[in-house]
Chain A
Amino acid sequence: GQNIDQPTEMTATEGAIVQINCTYQTSGFNGLFWYQQHAGEAPTFLSYNVLDGLEEKGRFSSFLSRSKGYSYLLLKELQMKDSASYLCAVRDYTGTASKLTFGTGTRLQVTL
């Protein structure tokens, strides 16, 4: 079965750092994605991890530990526009296509 857990909501202050955690238990694993989704809009890609460790991309970093079934997304220097849902998704490769199983998302509210 597929089980992906994220906190439902988080609040942080503009300029601060926030860490959004994701734990997963899935039957297949071939990488983990983080997507950002603003209300009423499509998800947009933020990061991808397939090996253990930290991937840094500007203000966003993502970490993966495959042995622990754990990832986090780190957002630095928070801006008001970062208020959105952040979706953790585990990739399973079927031999032809990548299938993503999404968590329910963490709704981040950035305040002044």
Chain B
Amino acid sequence: DAMVIQNPRYQVTQFGKPVTLSCSQTLNHNVMYWYQQKSSQAPKLLFHYYDKDFNNEADTPDNFQSRRPNTSFCFLDIRSPGLGDAAMYLCATSTTGLTYNEQFFGPGTRLTVL
């Protein structure tokens, strides 16, 4: 089945220790998104890629970076995680175009910062 895969599902890191979360997709969608979702809050868009074009949200902290080496993979790098970065990180994909294009979400990676 075509899908969005995130690894790991649970990640524990230490305060200030860099961490990388990964996302892969078999849908061949050209747009990939990273969201941060804290407990009982809405998913918040961090950035998205349209093909290789990176689009950062204005309020995304510099501590968060992303890489997309090819269509299938996208990585979220947190350079110096703080306690406030503990959250569920959701990867999503979609096609592009003005018509309806649903975003497909991966299962998420829950990040704990000690």
Do A and B truly interact?
A: yes
Beta-carbon contact of B100 and A31 below 8 Å: yes
Beta-carbon contact of B50 and A98 below 8 Å: no
Interface size class of A (residues with CB under 8 A): 20 to 34
Report how far A101 CA is from B35 CA in the complex, Å: 10
Beta-carbon contact of B107 and A97 below 8 Å: no
Interface size class of B (residues with CB under 8 A): 20 to 34
Q: Find chain A residues with CB under 8 A from B33 CB.
A: 97
Q: Does B34 contact A (CB under 8 A)?
A: no
Residue of B43, B44, B105, B108 with most chain A CB atoms under a 10 A cut-off: B43
Report how far A94 CA is from B97 CA in the complex, Å: 10
Beta-carbon contact of B101 and A98 below 8 Å: yes
Report B21-74 residues with CB < 8 Å from chain A CB.
31, 33, 40-45, 48, 50, 53, 55
Q: Does A100 contact B (CB under 8 A)?
A: yes
Beta-carbon contact of B43 and A43 below 8 Å: yes
Residue of B nearest to A35 (CB): B105
Residue of B31, B102, B106 with most chain A CB atoms under a 10 A cut-off: B102
Q: Find chain B residues with CB under 8 A from A42 CB.
A: 90, 105-108
Beta-carbon contact of B42 and A97 below 8 Å: no
Q: Which one of A43, A50, A102 contacts B100 once the chains associate, using CB atoms below 8 Å?
A: A50
B interface residues (Cβ-Cβ under 8 A, vs A): 31, 33, 40-45, 48, 50, 53, 55, 88, 90, 94, 96, 98, 100-108, 110
A-B contact pairs, 7 of them (CB 8 A): A4-B42, A30-B98, A42-B108, A94-B55, A97-B96, A98-B94, A104-B40
